[in-house]
Amino acid sequence: MKNLKGDIIWSILLAIWVIILLIPESRETFIHLTEKYPYLGGFVKFFILASMGDMLGSRIQEKEWIIPNNFIKKAIVWGILGMMITLVFTVFMAGVAGAQKVGKLPFNGSKFAQAFLGSLIMNLTFGPMLYIYHKFMDLWIDIKFEEKVNVTIKAIVDKIDWYTLVSFSWFKTCIFIWIPLHTIVFLMPPEYRVLASAFLSILLGVLIAITKKKKVQ
């Protein structure tokens, strides 16, 4: 019964976001606010949606709804990542367009090529660093507020499962999941890209849960 109640609440929260985007008036207001305050918008989107992904991942891993330890602190980390993504989406798409224009990348004028190349370059460069930043900050929070000891870079590095991070998160998810998905995101109008990426962060929560299960096994 408790799990069913949690399933319903989580689904309602997700449905609220979908309804906001389906109703023209609320969608226009939402887009206007996120365009006027892009970094704040990126923070809020990831703070909420990526944290929902964390909770869903915990649901999959533990087979019940559990609010993760230091939930709000880790949600703030997601919000900061949302602000970073808000910036890098513009940087990589504009950078690819500029490189195509001067002949340093092929297929100038092709929207699909720009989206694919932007996603490819972003996920082969920024993508791995995003994983490291997220892992470092999560572990810093765990060590600081759960183990309550002094945090050092060595302590964080020693706790990271580098094999899984590289073999699964980098070589599998970055290449076979995020490159095609972000290609689709970059084909969307700019005002929807960060929001779409925030929804994809729910998938990231599921992937993190799968990674943890693989590690336990």
Cβ-based neighbour number of residue 16 at 10 Å = 11
Domain extent at residue 152: 2-216
Structure-token pair, residue 122: 């972003």
CB atoms within 10 A of CB 144: 14
Which of the residue ranges 12-21, 83-92, 107-116, 120-129 would you say has the lowest mean pLDDT? 12-21
Contact by Cβ (8 Å): 101, 108: yes
Give the pLDDT confidence of 26-48 residue by residue, as tens digits. 999 999 999 999 999 999 999 99
**Residues 6 or more apart in contact with residue 193 via CB below 8 angstroms:** 89, 185, 186
Query: Torsion over CA of 161, 138, 84 and 51, rounded to 10 degrees?
Result: 110
- Whether the pLDDT of residue 147 is over 90: the answer is no
What confidence tens digit (pLDDT) does each residue in 49-62 have?
999 988 888 888 88
Count of domains forming the chain? 1
Res. 201 pLDDT band, cuts 50 70 90: confident
User: Closest by alpha carbon to 209, among 80, 68, 76?
Assistant: 68
pLDDT at 161 over 60: yes
- Which tokens sit at 19? 């309804």
Whether this prediction's pTM lies above 0.85 is answered by yes
How many residues belong to the chain?
Answer: 217
